[in-house]
């Protein structure tokens, strides 16, 4: 079951913010959750079955843009590292910096290249979503595969998306 009507902004009060996992959102604005530091975060409920829209959107964007190298569910591949592990040490700013600017391991015997996505709207307009999804994967609150249920996409979220994608 989805929460709320499909066309309405979810507007939960502070008491309803509780999430599974170590990071608790302290604020929700237009369906986007942030932690005490103002960093984007997830909200997962129903025994890991239901996720916020940002996590769902991040799952979809990850599968469209990152899976080819980093493997299903952020778990890593022979070519690119596990992002489930990376988010245990990379903070939000580091993550965004690497995705926008790329990364090249010059010391590896086989050259590993993380492309720069800074000019790619399909990635950068959704960078918070991808971060939030991987953060939840890293914290072990979203399992492998597609989240079963998600909160609706808010009207404001849709507007911001349209503005960013141009
Ligand atoms: C063409 C293959 C490729 C694609 C596509 C790709 N990556 Fe990477 N990524 C890599 C490689 C290879 C590395 C390791 C680079 C290094 O170690 O210097 C990497 C490293 C990273 C790191 C740093 C990990 C760490 O250990 O600190 C992050 C974060 C990252 N990628 C995120 C993403 C995200 C998010 C996407 C999708 C938007 C993505 N990557 C798409 C190949 C890719």
Q: Please say if the pLDDT value at position 4 is more than 60.
A: no
Minimal-distance CA residue to ligand 1 atom 20:
114
Residue 63, pLDDT score? 98
Domains of the chain: 14-165 (1.10.760.10)
Crossing angle of helices 127-138 and 53-65, in 10° steps, is 100
Minimal-distance CA residue to ligand 1 atom 1:
69
Q: Indicate the pTM of the whole model.
A: 0.91
Strand spans (E) along 6-133 = 27-29, 32-34, 40-41, 44-45, 50-51, 103-105, 112-114
Candidate from 56-65, 87-96, 101-110, 154-163 with smallest mean pLDDT: 101-110
Which run of H or E residues covers position 150?
strand 149-150
* Cβ–ligand 1 contact at 95 (below 6 Å): yes
Local confidence band at 15 (pLDDT 50, 70, 90 cut-offs): low
Q: How far is the CA of 81 from the centre of ligand 1 (A)?
A: 7
Residue 126 corresponds to which tokens in the numbers above?
């959704």
Residue 11, pLDDT score? 52
Residue 118, phi then psi, degrees to nearest 5: -55, -30
* Cβ–ligand 1 contact at 115 (below 6 Å): yes
Q: How far apart are CA 67 and CA 133, in angstroms?
A: 13
């Amino acid at each position: 079951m989805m929460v709320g009507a499909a066309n309405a902004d979810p507007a939960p009060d502070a008491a309803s913010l509780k999430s599974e996992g170590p990071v608790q959102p302290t604020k929700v604005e237009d369906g986007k959750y942030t932690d005490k530091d103002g960093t984007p975060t997830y909200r997962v409920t129903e025994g890991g079955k239901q996720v916020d829209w940002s996590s769902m959107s991040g799952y979809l964007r990850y599968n469209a843009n990152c899976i080819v190298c980093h493997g299903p569910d952020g778990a890593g591949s022979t070519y690119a590292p596990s992002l489930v592990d990376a988010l245990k040490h990379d903070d939000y700013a580091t993550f965004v910096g690497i995705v926008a600017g790329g990364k090249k391991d010059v010391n590896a015997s086989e050259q590993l290249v993380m492309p720069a996505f800074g000019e790619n709207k399909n990635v950068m307009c959704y960078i918070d979503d991808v971060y939030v999804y991987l953060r939840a994967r890293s914290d072990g609150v979203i399992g492998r595969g597609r989240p079963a249920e998600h909160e609706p996409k808010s009207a404001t979220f849709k507007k911001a998306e349209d503005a960013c994608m141009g």
